[in-house]
Amino acid sequence: MSTRRGTALVTGASSGIGAAYAGRLAGLGWDTVLVARRAERLDDLAARLRARTATSVETLVADLSEPDGLERVTRRAAGDDIAFLLNNAGINGYGPFATLEPALLAKVVSVNVLAVTALARTVVPGMLERGHGTLVNVASQLAFAGGLPPRPLPERAVYGGTKGYVVTFTRTLAAELAGSPLRVQVLCPGLTATEFHRSRGEAPVPGREQAVHEDGGMPVDRVVDASLAALETERVVCVPGLRDAAPVARLAEAELAVRTAAREGAG
């Protein structure tokens, strides 16, 4: 498309879903702000996008688990050109809860919960004032795997908890903003062919070239396809690969039954 759409800020843009989503948005005419910890990866992606799409591409190297990094990204997100926020940055901190380092657990919560919330809070008021905007928060299908034991699933108590927060936060925010001009989505991919499982999150995967973890998974382009299609139909919960939305509807029905149980029992 030749018409500029505005500027999209993409966190976790140095690989995987973030890099693929940024490329797709640039191809659709969006200027982009690419945020991640790896400067060389961001520079390489920015050069490719500028050459391929002739859009404006900024890079912002920041660690969202650090107050200074989050503050710098939040300041850029407050710009009146930001019309799309992809809250994609996330780390897993997988491992037995009783032995995981407290510093790593704090990092997981900071990136997966605090940064997502802070950046959403930064962009939503301006989007409402300008009368348009899109917010996509990336969660995980592991948000729905609470009681399942590990093996083959990872040991994931904190990660699953943070992604459960992202799902509930986004769904509740979408309900609050219903009737507004904003599009709000929580993207819940399953196992995806990225390098996500190659690091617990203390440090990013080294090297300039993207890798794929040994478990493979859904190609990132299919995840982006699903998200963009769901935005077009204003579907709040997007689960790539889920062909029938009935399970999401049944989840809402089950939640209603739980919420009304105490009231019915008091009668």
> Could you list the active site residues?
159
Residue 238, CA distances (Å) to 17, 73, 121, 228, 241 in order: 14, 26, 21, 9, 9
Across the beta sheet with 182-187, the strand order is 57-61, 31-36, 7-11, 82-87, 133-138, 182-187, 237-238
Alpha-helical segments (H) within 83-203: 102-109, 116-130, 157-176
Residue 108 near residue 4 (C-beta atoms within 8 A): no
User: Of 17, 1, 217, 18, which Cα lies nearest the Cα of 9?
Assistant: 18
236-266 residues labelled b (16+ CB within 10 A) or e (exposed): bbbbbeeeeeeebeeeeeeeeeeeeeeeeee
Give the Cα separation of 196 and 219 in Å (integer): 13
Give the Cα separation of 78 and 98 in Å (integer): 39
User: Of 79, 74, 87, which Cα lies nearest the Cα of 56?
Assistant: 79
Residue 218 near residue 241 (C-beta atoms within 8 A): yes
CB neighbour class for 50 (10 Å; exposed up to 12, middle 13-18, buried from 19): middle
